[in-house]
Structures are given as C-alpha cells and as structure tokens.
Amino acid sequence: MKKVELINLPKFLDVRGNLSFVEQNNHIPFEIKRTYWLYDVPGGESRGGHAYINNEEFIIALSGSFDVVVDDGNEKKVFQMNRSYYGLYIPKGMWREINNFSSNSFALEFGSTEYNENDYIRDYDTFLKMKHDGKI
Ligand code: TYD
C-alpha cells in the first residue's frame, strides 16, 4: 500500500531564476490523467474536506503557502507546503483538507483519474465507516 510522502523535487538554482520539474511515473508515482489548480484563494480560507475512493494526487505549492491535513482514519498529519520544489503525494482513500492559505497562494494538483463526482466521499463519518469496513 502506497503511503503519504513529501517528495523533494529536482531544482536547478540559477541567478537568472530557479527551475524545478516533475515527471509522471517518476517523482509523481502515477500516470497523470488530470491537472488542476487553486488560485485567488482568500487568505485563511480552507478547501477540500473530502476523500477520493480511487484518485491519487500530487500537490505542489507553486507560490505562497498552505497546509495539507491528511487523515487515514486513525491519525492526522499536517504538511506545511511553502516551497515550490516539494510535492506531496496522497494515495487514494485518505481524508484530506487544505487550509491556512496565504494570500496569493497557488496550488497545482495532479490526479491519477479524470474528474468523477462519484469518486468523492464528502462526509467524514461515511469516510470513517468505509475505512473501518475495509471498503477503501
Ligand atoms: P472540489 O474538488 O470539490 O474542490 P475542493 O475540494 O478544492 O474544495 O471541486 C469544486 C468543484 O469544481 C466541483 O464541484 C466540480 C469542479 N471540478 C471539476 O469539474 N473538475 C475537477 O477536476 C475538479 C477538481 C473540480
């Protein structure tokens, strides 16, 4: 079973400006089916209190900062994302919330599946029950 992991991405430091990159099936441990981004998030706002049944994701703070709270049903971990050369891998079946956005933050997210509302679990008690019943 894959685990939540903060992945240190390649970076080329240069006086002209720095460069980082990601590759699917390498730094991102899945084939990318979808890319989306969160922007113009008001400072202090919170998003994404839900779990995915199948979708795996990879999140980068391209600018600004935010916290990603990942919960496996037993334990919660908080990842403070504030550097564009780190990516957070989240496997399927985890409750996750993104909060504490700084103003002007920009979150880039990659997914392993196309968008499908049926893949979401939006109720925390349902998530806990499915987790404890071994359904996710
Ligand atoms: P949602 O994932 O609920 O946002 P968050 O978890 O960050 O609060 O997405 C908000 C809306 O955007 C959702 O109702 C449908 C739409 N959406 C898509 O159409 N495609 C996508 O890939 C995503 C992520 C969202």
In order of their start, the domains of the chain are 5-11+29-132 (2.60.120.10)
Encode 33-55: b = buried (16+ Cβ within 10 Å), e = exposed: eeeeebeebeeeeeebbbbbbeb
18 CA distance to ligand 1 centroid (A)? 30
Which residues does the chain have with pLDDT short of 50? none
pLDDT at 2: 81
Which atom of ligand 1 is found nearest the CA of 38? 7
Q: Indicate whether residue 33 lines ligand 1 (CB < 6 A).
A: no
Residue closest via CA to ligand 1's atom 4 equals: 48
130: Cα separation from own chain's centroid = 21
133 CA distance to ligand 1 centroid (A)? 27
pLDDT at 3: 95
Tell me the pTM.
0.96
pLDDT at 1: 57
Q: Indicate whether residue 39 lines ligand 1 (CB < 6 A).
A: no
Which atom of ligand 1 is found nearest the CA of 109? 24
CA atoms within 13 A on the CB side of 85: 9
